Amino acid sequence: MRRMWPDDLDFILNGAEEVTLEASGSGGAGSERDGHGVRKALRVRISQQDFERIWPLAEARYRLGGERLGKAITLITTNPHYHRWHPTDGGTEEHVSESGRSVTTNYVTVHFLLDEVREPVEA
């Protein structure tokens, strides 16, 4: 099944940093032989509120459009092979709203596995 990343959540990937995840392994699960040793990923710092919006999309693969056409992402949340890259505290920011109230925004740092998606084409 080909799932596309929801257009209304594209803003979450704006400013995403492309990183390389290196999972340590000794030939078992998580090793390079299993395709889990070195993986490309996107690292994103998002608000806790936005993280709660994308939580239902976790651990499923979504194809991307636009500038990342031909790629797919999977939000890492509870996968034991990628424990070091599970969502972590991204800090807080405080600011004053237009009404004069002090507002604190909590952030989360998340990683999306990034894969190339190539379809065989019949001639």
Residue 31 has pLDDT above 60, yes or no: no
Task: Classify residue 1: in a domain, yes or no.
Answer: no
Task: Classify residue 15: in a domain, yes or no.
Answer: yes
Task: Classify residue 64: in a domain, yes or no.
Answer: yes
Task: Classify residue 55: in a domain, yes or no.
Answer: yes
Residue 22 has pLDDT above 90, yes or no: no
Task: Classify residue 18: in a domain, yes or no.
Answer: yes
- Owning domain of residue 58: 7-116
- Stretch 2-7: mean pLDDT, rounded? 90
Mean pLDDT, rounded, of the chain? 85
Residues facing 61 on adjacent strands? 74
Domains identified in the chain, total number? 1
Task: Classify residue 2: in a domain, yes or no.
Answer: no
Tokens of 111: 């990683």
Contact 72, 115 (CB under 8 A): yes
Prediction pTM value: 0.80
